[in-house]
Amino acid sequence: MANDSYRVDLDRLDEVVKKLNNVLKDMQSTSGKAKSGTHLPEGALGKGFEEEGELRKTHDELKGFIEQKVLNKLERLIDDLQKKTSKTHGAYQDQEQNTSNAMNKGHTSSQNKYS
């Protein structure tokens, strides 16, 4: 009898892949908002004070940092994890099919021997 402690739940792996895909979609939406929804045009903070240019420059630098160092890295990490999980799911699925085929082949040949 097979030991269930070594069994891989392919449905759970598939669920993880789907959830990672959803997280990736959400991240891409957030990334789009960070790029286009956070523009700070000249004069938006007021006019006629010397810190206005410095505030906009700092805003642009922070916006770039968030886009490049946070969001892009998270997107790549999640995408990589999703691809690896999907590949693992496929490998286990293939192995399960190969094992099932081998067992069926052995069962068929033993039936023929003793029939």
Cβ atoms 45, 52 nearer than 8 A = yes
Percent residues over pLDDT 90 in the chain: 17
Q: What is the pTM of this model?
A: 0.65
Cα 93 to Cα 1, 8, 37: the distances in Å are 20, 9, 43
Cβ atoms 89, 10 nearer than 8 A = yes
Cα 31 to Cα 27, 28, 65, 87: the distances in Å are 6, 5, 12, 26
Alpha-carbon distance of 72 to 78, in angstroms, equals 10
pLDDT band at 7 (very low <50, low <70, confident <90, very high): confident
- Local structure of 7: helix, strand or coil: coil
Each residue of 30-70: pLDDT tens digit?
A: 777 777 777 777 888 888 888 888 888 898 899 889 888 88
